[in-house]
Amino acid sequence: MNRLLPSFLLFAANGAAHAQDAVEAPASGAGAVVQMLGALALVLLVMFALLWALKRLSGGRVPGSAPIRTIGGIAVGSRERVVLLEIGEHWLVVGVAPGSVSGIATLPRGDLGQDSDGAKPAAADFGTLLARLKAGRS
Protein backbone atom coordinates (compact mmCIF):
# COMPACT_ATOMS: atom_id res chain seq x y z
CA MET A 1 0.00 0.00 0.00
CA ASN A 2 2.81 2.41 0.91
CA ARG A 3 4.61 1.65 -2.37
CA LEU A 4 1.46 2.40 -4.37
CA LEU A 5 0.84 5.74 -2.69
CA PRO A 6 3.93 7.58 -4.05
CA SER A 7 3.34 6.24 -7.57
CA PHE A 8 -0.30 7.33 -7.33
CA LEU A 9 0.78 10.83 -6.28
CA LEU A 10 3.26 10.98 -9.20
CA PHE A 11 0.50 9.86 -11.58
CA ALA A 12 -1.90 12.48 -10.20
CA ALA A 13 0.75 15.20 -10.43
CA ASN A 14 1.56 14.17 -13.99
CA GLY A 15 -2.14 14.26 -14.90
CA ALA A 16 -2.52 17.70 -13.33
CA ALA A 17 0.45 18.97 -15.36
CA HIS A 18 -1.12 17.68 -18.58
CA ALA A 19 -4.45 19.22 -17.63
CA GLN A 20 -2.77 22.58 -17.04
CA ASP A 21 -1.09 22.33 -20.46
CA ALA A 22 -4.52 21.76 -22.03
CA VAL A 23 -5.93 24.77 -20.20
CA GLU A 24 -3.08 27.01 -21.30
CA ALA A 25 -3.39 26.02 -24.97
CA PRO A 26 -6.23 28.11 -26.45
CA ALA A 27 -8.65 26.15 -28.61
CA SER A 28 -9.77 27.44 -31.98
CA GLY A 29 -13.26 28.94 -32.20
CA ALA A 30 -14.78 26.13 -34.27
CA GLY A 31 -13.06 23.45 -32.19
CA ALA A 32 -14.41 24.94 -28.97
CA VAL A 33 -17.95 25.01 -30.35
CA VAL A 34 -17.72 21.40 -31.51
CA GLN A 35 -16.33 20.36 -28.12
CA MET A 36 -19.13 22.23 -26.30
CA LEU A 37 -21.84 20.68 -28.49
CA GLY A 38 -20.35 17.22 -27.96
CA ALA A 39 -20.36 17.70 -24.19
CA LEU A 40 -23.97 18.96 -24.31
CA ALA A 41 -25.03 15.95 -26.38
CA LEU A 42 -23.33 13.62 -23.89
CA VAL A 43 -25.08 15.25 -20.92
CA LEU A 44 -28.47 15.07 -22.66
CA LEU A 45 -27.89 11.43 -23.59
CA VAL A 46 -27.07 10.56 -19.97
CA MET A 47 -30.18 12.41 -18.73
CA PHE A 48 -32.48 10.60 -21.17
CA ALA A 49 -30.89 7.25 -20.28
CA LEU A 50 -31.48 7.89 -16.57
CA LEU A 51 -35.09 8.92 -17.17
CA TRP A 52 -35.70 5.83 -19.29
CA ALA A 53 -34.17 3.59 -16.61
CA LEU A 54 -36.26 5.26 -13.89
CA LYS A 55 -39.42 4.74 -15.92
CA ARG A 56 -38.57 1.07 -16.51
CA LEU A 57 -37.76 0.41 -12.86
CA SER A 58 -40.87 2.14 -11.50
CA GLY A 59 -43.15 0.34 -13.96
CA GLY A 60 -44.32 3.60 -15.52
CA ARG A 61 -46.11 4.62 -12.34
CA VAL A 62 -45.27 7.70 -10.38
CA PRO A 63 -44.20 6.66 -6.87
CA GLY A 64 -46.89 7.38 -4.29
CA SER A 65 -49.77 7.51 -6.76
CA ALA A 66 -52.97 5.59 -6.11
CA PRO A 67 -53.62 2.51 -8.25
CA ILE A 68 -56.45 3.77 -10.46
CA ARG A 69 -57.47 1.92 -13.60
CA THR A 70 -59.85 3.21 -16.28
CA ILE A 71 -62.41 0.51 -17.11
CA GLY A 72 -64.23 2.40 -19.84
CA GLY A 73 -65.86 5.60 -20.91
CA ILE A 74 -68.49 7.00 -23.24
CA ALA A 75 -68.96 10.45 -24.77
CA VAL A 76 -72.22 12.09 -23.73
CA GLY A 77 -71.54 15.42 -25.42
CA SER A 78 -69.01 17.15 -27.61
CA ARG A 79 -66.53 17.53 -24.73
CA GLU A 80 -68.21 15.60 -21.90
CA ARG A 81 -67.66 11.98 -20.98
CA VAL A 82 -68.84 9.49 -18.38
CA VAL A 83 -65.94 7.34 -17.20
CA LEU A 84 -65.83 4.18 -15.09
CA LEU A 85 -62.77 4.00 -12.81
CA GLU A 86 -61.59 1.06 -10.70
CA ILE A 87 -60.01 1.99 -7.39
CA GLY A 88 -59.23 -1.01 -5.21
CA GLU A 89 -62.46 -2.91 -4.63
CA HIS A 90 -64.74 -0.13 -5.88
CA TRP A 91 -65.88 1.30 -9.20
CA LEU A 92 -66.49 5.02 -9.50
CA VAL A 93 -68.70 6.44 -12.20
CA VAL A 94 -67.62 10.02 -12.87
CA GLY A 95 -68.65 12.74 -15.28
CA VAL A 96 -65.73 14.52 -16.92
CA ALA A 97 -66.15 17.93 -18.57
CA PRO A 98 -63.63 20.64 -19.37
CA GLY A 99 -62.60 22.07 -16.02
CA SER A 100 -64.58 19.71 -13.79
CA VAL A 101 -64.94 16.11 -12.66
CA SER A 102 -68.14 15.08 -10.85
CA GLY A 103 -68.86 11.84 -9.03
CA ILE A 104 -72.03 10.10 -10.20
CA ALA A 105 -72.06 6.74 -8.43
CA THR A 106 -69.94 4.31 -6.40
CA LEU A 107 -70.36 0.60 -7.11
CA PRO A 108 -68.75 -2.57 -5.81
CA ARG A 109 -66.18 -3.92 -8.21
CA GLY A 110 -67.75 -6.34 -10.63
CA ASP A 111 -67.50 -7.71 -14.11
CA LEU A 112 -68.79 -5.64 -17.02
CA GLY A 113 -71.87 -7.00 -18.70
CA GLN A 114 -72.55 -9.95 -16.40
CA ASP A 115 -76.16 -11.08 -16.30
CA SER A 116 -77.90 -12.10 -13.08
CA ASP A 117 -77.09 -15.76 -13.81
CA GLY A 118 -73.38 -14.94 -14.16
CA ALA A 119 -73.22 -15.50 -17.92
CA LYS A 120 -71.33 -12.85 -19.83
CA PRO A 121 -72.95 -11.70 -23.08
CA ALA A 122 -70.70 -11.61 -26.12
CA ALA A 123 -71.17 -7.90 -26.94
CA ALA A 124 -71.29 -6.36 -23.46
CA ASP A 125 -69.68 -2.94 -23.22
CA PHE A 126 -69.66 0.14 -21.04
CA GLY A 127 -72.56 1.72 -22.93
CA THR A 128 -74.94 -1.09 -22.00
CA LEU A 129 -73.78 -0.95 -18.37
CA LEU A 130 -74.44 2.80 -18.30
CA ALA A 131 -77.88 2.30 -19.86
CA ARG A 132 -78.73 -0.27 -17.16
CA LEU A 133 -77.52 2.12 -14.44
CA LYS A 134 -79.70 4.90 -15.87
CA ALA A 135 -82.70 2.57 -15.88
CA GLY A 136 -82.09 1.78 -12.18
CA ARG A 137 -81.00 -1.80 -12.63
CA SER A 138 -77.55 -2.93 -11.55
- CA-CA distance, 69 to 96, in Å (whole number)? 15
The residues spanned by each domain of the chain are 4-58, 68-135
Residue 37 parent element (H or E): helix 29-58
Q: What is the pTM of this model?
A: 0.39
Could you report the per-residue pLDDT of 49-66, keeping only the tens digit for each?
999 888 888 765 555 566
Could you report the per-residue pLDDT of 83-94, keeping only the tens digit for each?
988 888 888 899
117 close to 123: Cβ distance less than 8 angstroms: no
Phi, psi of 112 (to 5 degrees): -60, 135
Distance (Å) of CA 71 to CA 3, 54, 83, 91, 134:
69, 27, 8, 9, 18
Higher pLDDT, 103 or 11: 103
- CA-CA distance, 64 to 44, in Å (whole number)? 27
102 close to 95: Cβ distance less than 8 angstroms: yes
Phi, psi of 14 (to 5 degrees): -65, -40
Percent of the chain with pLDDT over 70: 62
